[in-house]
Structure 1
Amino acid sequence: MQYSPAPVNIPLEKNYDSEVCGSIPLHLVNLIQPHGMLLVLDKQELRILQASANTEVFLQITADELLSKPFASLIQESQLAEITSKLGAHANQDKIPFTLTFIVDGVEKSFTSTFLQHAEYILVELEESKPTVQESFISLYQHLKYITSLLKEPETIPQVAQVAAEELKKFSGFDKVMVYQFDPSWNGIVIAQAREEDMDDYFDLRFPASDVPKQARDLYFKNPYRLIPTRNYTPVRLVPVLNPITHKFTDLSDCSLRSVASVHLEYLTNMNVDASMSLPLIIDNKLWGLISCHHKTPKYPSYEMRSAMELLSGILSAQLEARHKEETMAHRVKLRSVHASLLEQLYTSTNFAEGLLEGETTILELFDLAGAAVFYEGTVWVAGETPSEQEMRDLVSWLRRNNAGGLYVTNVLPQVYPHSKAYHTIASGLLAIPINAEQGEFILGFRPEVQQTVNWGGNPNNAIQMEPDGKSYHPRNSFEIYKETVKFTSLPWNADDADAAETLRHAVLEKLMKDRY
């Protein structure tokens, strides 16, 4: 299996995070999907203020008939006591799950429910549940333990993600499972995938940020998953339309049942899938990526299965974070070792520039440079492949005018300093360490251009197709590979490089002071 998606942090010139897609007020989509029902209760007496129009399907009672009824009239007294006890002891805005029994036409019906307290009301989501045998929990637990053990074995982030995709596909029964990582501009890249053979291959494809706009990304912090059992559904409204307490639409941000924007359903149609489920991968309280599950036909995972997948998304997030920390630490250890050798060489050399550019360890090795130069007291020292001396002097003048004397790092130098396009093949990346910026004294490190090919899932420039009215729009209808060549960029720098550069700068200044006095 291929485990090497393109680097996720390739800098792209265009921002695809659409303001049009991001303008849909998803929290005010006052409709739900029909596989469950929603009740809105007042906080004092737990009376029903609003009900979804499909209650008759589940309870044989219309929404209008339910209004103003006490919720207590629908359930057993013991269950009401449990609800009031837990709601009273639970001050924060986390969902509280219950299994409730309703009597419908003399027959008991079991519902999986979640209660969520808002400042002025309580949201109750209800989905009919079928009796489960005791072994089902044991079976789920055993699967979870097994998958967790497998996720600990791979050494790299792509390998961990691939194992997760394969095992989640087997576990959940979805036709396709993808692990999707966001780049710095919120475009997503599929870094792992498990699929049925007749489904499209999206591995290593990027999808523009407009596919998951900002307000949709924000909602992943409120909902542990997003489920669409089928794209072919008729949305269900709330009765009455406005919340009687707030006199506004009820905020359904936290509701798993919340209906989906029609443009997203059209998007699923264009991908030839009927059902989807997505779960967030959150690392350091930031949305790192998604687990995206697709199915060719309608699919309704049980509450137990969804809860298990929610748990696995957290476990996968932890494993991805662990691998990232391991990779960072390995790089840091290597950097410190080279750094220590270079500093020893620097302090024992008669000339600090020669100490940096000559000997067993050089600044080229420390920062993975193709070339470096030192400008000091009118003299220029160079090592490796660099621009011409005049080109570097012009660059130093630009740095003096624009950088106010601080450390400067970029991996897109030709974009920020157009004159450097003349030598972009050897210097698309720049690390500039000031010694005395006002006098034009710098240590310069250069990284060469690394052209990257980005494979997009469809042309990102056609991700949104506007109607003539300028208001309505449609998603792209083709996901054929669209190749974009990214030029004028080097390999990226990281935070450890910047820290090492600052430490080196202080060491050089200390060396100069020592030699002078």
Structure 2
Amino acid sequence: MEKKQAPISFTIEKNYDSEFCGSIPLHLVNLIQPHGVLLALDPQDLQIVQVSENVEKVLGVSVADFLNQPISKFLPTHQWEDIQQKVNGKGKQEKIPFSITFLVQGKETNLTALVHPKEEYVLIELEDNQDTSSKDSFLKLYQQIKYLTSLIKQAGSTKEIAQITVEEIKKLTGFDRVLAYQFDPQWNGIVIGQAKEEDMDDYMDLRFPASDVPKQSRDLYFSNPYRLIPTRDYTPVKLMPLINPLSQRFTDLSDCNLRSVATVHLEYLANLQIMASMSLPLIIDNQLWGLISCHHKTPINPSYELRSALELLSGIVSGQLAAKERENTIALKAQLRGIHAQLLEQLYTIPTLAEGLLSGTPNIQDLLNLSGAAVFFEGDVWTSGEVPEASDLKELVYWLRRNRTEKLFVTDTLPHQYMRARDYKGVASGLIALPINAEQGEYILGFRPEVLQTISWGGDPNQAIQMEADGKTYHPRNSFATYQETVKQTSLPWLEEQIEAAETLRSAVLEKIIKERY
């Protein structure tokens, strides 16, 4: 039997979304990366109550001299007023960086600031804003964004959008490798777009287990427009004092770009043979759809201007992906509505229910993309296409009656759920069951055959997490060599639109039966 590359919506029986990795409180690490300074202020008087210990290196003033001082002491009046407005103003949820000048012992230090007002305290991130790019960088960025937008609007598919995006982002940023990564229903990710230097490993079409981007990390993408690690070879910087005096807890760094990275992730980057990374979320309908992941072989720290451009681009790309998916959905729904209308006309013009569903063109097989179908109604059984033997069909209906009563039942892994189906997996690895009268064993059944599907993993997913003897310390896999797995006893997945079409058909059949009987 021919092996096909498993589609993104394909059901993978094993769950690789590690609960252990997903339970680590990443937002409470109380450490930051050293390319910036973090301040925590009292929201009432904007007095500094907590500061990262690298403040002396950046601003030339000790932690002790900075703590418990009003931030106004170090700022020009107009910038102090600007921060007050950002803390108290209506737009406080907007993460918009701005330039700020610290005046310390007669020395001016120009930085880029980002304010995060919270209920108990205010966080301010500070980074060096010395931009080495040319004076017309804004115009160049604007032109490139416009160009990319026009290209992806003309793309014919999701994969084409992804490929155009990674190619243009690579040109824009200079990163050595840029990947577009889409999540499957079990949160494993598959690379659907790639642009890279020739000497970088090829990850196109490879799937990565969900534990590579655990739940905690996925959730944080809704708080952060991007995740930047300028270099994995850094020493984390502590916040002083350790416990936030206002909350009496570790400071919540969910919103902070400077938040330090778990050691295991830095080890993961080392195993990927990269020094720096940046990732941007692709969010559709308030769901994390995928990521744009940028890798670099040496340390790299993109300017705020470039980061802002990438943030904007990720939103534009997300919008175009959503539009393309809606376009595909609308087209498929229109096609299914057309088939349904013809099938409905057939149901009311052909004498028996089974003939109306199974005979003629189109029929239920055309509507739901089936290889075979069976109708159990009023004590009789009718079939079309390839279906299990009569005795197997009766046993299957008995199993459905016992386990699935009044609801539509859909699976693309029937042999995994119903042991007897392994004997006829070649014709019925996929099943859709429409109950007419479940108590009486009346069903419309649709079948799909087994399709041997190959999953190409980026490394063995069973070795994704390697625990040490203490049961607490763990390491990521150290090899990303392609690991292929052939999945058996599965059919092609059922599309959401096909399931909706089946529900609509079931309603139409029940309405017809009621009209005829009453």
TM-score by length of structure 2 reads 0.97
Partner of residue 127, structure 1: 127
Q: Is the 8 A contact 1:161 1:191 kept in 2?
A: yes
Q: Is the 8 A contact 2:388 2:427 kept in 1?
A: yes
Q: Is the 8 A contact 1:5 1:203 kept in 2?
A: no
Q: Is the 8 A contact 2:208 2:458 kept in 1?
A: yes
Q: C-alpha displacement at 1:238, in angstroms? A: 0.9
Partner of residue 260, structure 1: 261
Deviations 1:256-291 (A, max 9, x none): 001101000000000000000001111010111110
Moved more, 392-401 or 429-438: 429-438
Partner of residue 42, structure 2: 42
Q: Secondary structure at the match of 1:366?
A: helix
Q: Is the 8 A contact 2:414 2:421 kept in 1?
A: yes
Q: Which runs of 5+ in 1 are unaligned?
A: none
Partner of residue 412, structure 1: 413
Partner of residue 392, structure 2: 391
Q: Is the 8 A contact 1:5 1:191 kept in 2?
A: no
Q: C-alpha displacement at 1:104, in angstroms? A: 5.1
- The 4+ residue runs of structure 1 with deviation greater than 6 A are none
Q: Is the 8 A contact 1:64 1:239 kept in 2?
A: no
CA distance in 1, matches of 2:514, 2:231: 71
CA distance in 1, matches of 2:406, 2:22: 38
Partner of residue 453, structure 2: 452
Partner amino acid for 2:424? Y
Partner of residue 79, structure 2: 79
Partner of residue 371, structure 2: 370
Change (3 A) 1:41 1:144: same
Partner of residue 288, structure 2: 287
Q: Secondary structure at the match of 2:13?
A: coil
Q: C-alpha displacement at 1:18, in angstroms? A: 0.9
Q: Is the 8 A contact 1:342 1:356 kept in 2?
A: yes
Q: C-alpha displacement at 1:105, in angstroms? A: 5.9
CA distance in 1, matches of 2:197, 2:42: 47
CA distance in 1, matches of 2:375, 2:304: 64
CA distance in 2, matches of 1:180, 1:427: 32
Q: C-alpha displacement at 1:91, in angstroms? A: 6.7
**Is 1:491 the counterpart of 2:492 in the alignment?**
yes
CA distance in 2, matches of 1:513, 1:34: 71
Partner of residue 67, structure 1: 67
Q: Secondary structure at the match of 1:424?
A: helix
CA RMSD of aligned residues (A): 1.5
Deviations 1:428-448 (A, max 9, x none): 111111121111111111011
Partner of residue 26, structure 2: 26
Q: C-alpha displacement at 1:134, in angstroms? A: 4.6
Q: Is the 8 A contact 2:92 2:116 kept in 1?
A: no
**Is 1:335 the counterpart of 2:336 in the alignment?**
yes
Change (3 A) 1:256 1:208: same
User: What are the residue-to-residue correspondences of 1:150-299 with 2, within 5 Å?
Assistant: 150-299=151-300
Partner of residue 355, structure 1: 356
Partner of residue 137, structure 1: 138
User: What are the residue-to-residue correspondences of 1:319-330 with 2, within 5 Å?
Assistant: 319-330=320-331
Moved more, 296-305 or 132-141: 132-141
Q: Is the 8 A contact 1:6 1:204 kept in 2?
A: no
CA distance in 2, matches of 1:16, 1:356: 40
Q: Which runs of 5+ in 2 are unaligned?
A: none
CA distance in 2, matches of 1:503, 1:72: 65
Q: Secondary structure at the match of 1:204?
A: coil
Q: Is the 8 A contact 2:155 2:161 kept in 1?
A: yes
Q: Is the 8 A contact 2:224 2:255 kept in 1?
A: yes
CA distance in 2, matches of 1:362, 1:129: 65
CA distance in 2, matches of 1:510, 1:228: 59
CA distance in 1, matches of 2:100, 2:367: 63
CA distance in 2, matches of 1:403, 1:92: 51
Partner of residue 12, structure 2: 12
Q: Is the 8 A contact 1:5 1:158 kept in 2?
A: no
